[in-house]
Amino acid sequence: MRYRFNFIIFIIGLSSLSQVAISKENISKADLTSKALRGNVDAQYNLCRFLHAEGSDDFAIGWCEKATMEGNGDAAMLLAWLSLHNSENNNDIKKGYMWLSVALAQKYNFSAFNEWKKLSVNLRSDRKSLKRLNREINSLYKQYVDPKESRDVVELITDSRARYMSSLKNSAAKGDSKSQALLGVISEHGGDLSAALKWYRSAAENGYIDAQSYIGRSSDNSGVGKFLDNVERYSWLYLSLVKRYNYVDNLSLEFIGNRLSEEEIEQAKKNAQNLYFSYADNADLEPLIKQSEEKYIRNVINYEKGANSNKNNIKSYKSGLDILTDNSKSLDRIVTKAQQGDIKIQYALGYMYEQGIEFPQDINKSIKWYKKAALQGFPPAQYALGQAYFNDINKNNNKVTAYAWLDVSSRQGNDKAGVMREIIAKSFDKEEKRLANILSRKYYRLYVEPFQKAQKL
């Protein structure tokens, strides 16, 4: 199951990058098509991304192939993803592997490299086929990238990785916080937790919010969290809230604070203040966090108003936010509100059990709370529930149920749910497919349509 889960992360990552980049470009589909037809390689690649963002993968693949055959490494990477994502048989998987190899030989990517290795292991069961495949890959590289290249593509990928790691370490040594954080990820993935924490701390000390949040949320019984105490966790979370207030970090801060004395909390705040002074202008953190919190609440409320203009319903969504402004926050209060039926708190509680925040990690309890919110029509919980079942397929054979919840979420606009749903669908036999579609229609009728109708009233 671990292979499948990491594969999902890889393809979602490429998909998200593709869609985000397109949304920022002021160029029309017609302009891209015109330039692509005239042979502009960049336009061909961008049109591929544009069509993929539209959901037209069949057409996207054609344009990505054109750009790839002109030596565009980014196009080769996206073509690999599209081939794997839309694979219907083993030949499509092999095609994706081939283009992924060509792409990595030109430009290293950490996530793609890990998936390439996993695909290699899976294909290695047929050694003759893999050897033949590698010969085809070498031929593709010479034909579309560099006809003078005499080295094997696997060797080129190794060299590409070495150059990337050398460049990344140089950037990290010069103080680039993103490079430091990425080295933390790579080190942790490789099992070197002490090196990972060193790089995470360096990134966090340079003001990289993701690293601050990650260290602060880390569990004390796994990963880099084994090396941290609650005072340091509190300091990093407190610091992260200055620039990017969010619900989960705030909850985590409150729960960690419950384990500390008043003196320890004051010390943690002083540590955070000193860290902030090291990379930003002198300013007291307390009012900055308050401003960040107020902005967060205002943005969420404005978003909800836009999603539902009926003023009579404002109170209902505010109930899910009042925990943010309630001074009596506590774990008991969170559980009580979830038991009383607050769907956003139920969803948060499911996340806390899934990630091991404040509670021991418990997937069954996580599923329980996600399901309570999902049955009340809360789309994020429906996606989370489908994802939880998806990750548990091999253990409890939940793939039909996983498909149904992911399909419900996908039909409400969640692209990530759609990716997972399609991969599950490829493993179905005829009877499983029939049952999954019946269950999906049932869930949509019971747990989506009534809530959509209620919003229109």
What residue segments make up the domains of the chain, in order of their start? 2-169, 177-299, 330-456
Domains 2-169 and 330-456 share a fold: yes
State the alpha helices, DSSP H only, in 280-411.
Answer: 285-307, 314-318, 322-325, 331-339, 343-355, 363-374, 379-391, 393-396, 399-410
pLDDT band at 9 (very low <50, low <70, confident <90, very high): very low
Cβ proximity of 246 and 234 under 8 Å:
no
Interatomic CA distance for residues 406 and 382, integer angstroms: 7
Interatomic CA distance for residues 60 and 86, integer angstroms: 11
At 413-430, the pLDDT tens digits run 877 788 788 878 888 888
Token readout for 277 is 């002074």
State the alpha helices, DSSP H only, in 258-284.
Answer: 262-279
Position 369 scores a pLDDT of 92
Q: Looking at the predicted structure, is the pLDDT value of residue 307 above 60?
A: no
Give how far the C-alpha of residue 142 lies from the chain's centroid of Cα atoms, to the nearest Å.
34
Q: How far apart are the first and last CA of the chain?
A: 43
Position 419 scores a pLDDT of 79
Which of 21-25, 44-48, 107-111, 390-394 is the least confident region? 21-25
Interatomic CA distance for residues 59 and 86, integer angstroms: 12
Interatomic CA distance for residues 402 and 105, integer angstroms: 36
Q: Cα dist. 317→321, 345, 420, 455 in Å?
A: 7, 11, 29, 12
* 171 φ/ψ angles, rounded to the nearest 5 degrees: -65, -40
Q: Is 167 helix (H, G, I), strand (E, B) or coil?
A: helix
How many CA atoms lie less than 13 Å away from 295 in the CB half-sphere?
Answer: 12
Interatomic CA distance for residues 216 and 206, integer angstroms: 15
E-only strand ranges, 248-395? none
Cβ proximity of 267 and 231 under 8 Å:
yes
At 310-327, the pLDDT tens digits run 333 333 323 333 433 343
At 349-383, the pLDDT tens digits run 888 888 776 677 788 888 999 999 999 988 888 99
Interatomic CA distance for residues 1 and 3, integer angstroms: 5
Specify the amino acid at residue 56. Answer: S
* Max CA distance (Å), the chain: 70
User: What homologous superfamily does CATH list for 2-169?
Assistant: Tetratricopeptide repeat domain (1.25.40.10)
Domain 330-456: which CATH number of 1.20.120, 1.25.40, 1.10.760, 2.30.29:
1.25.40
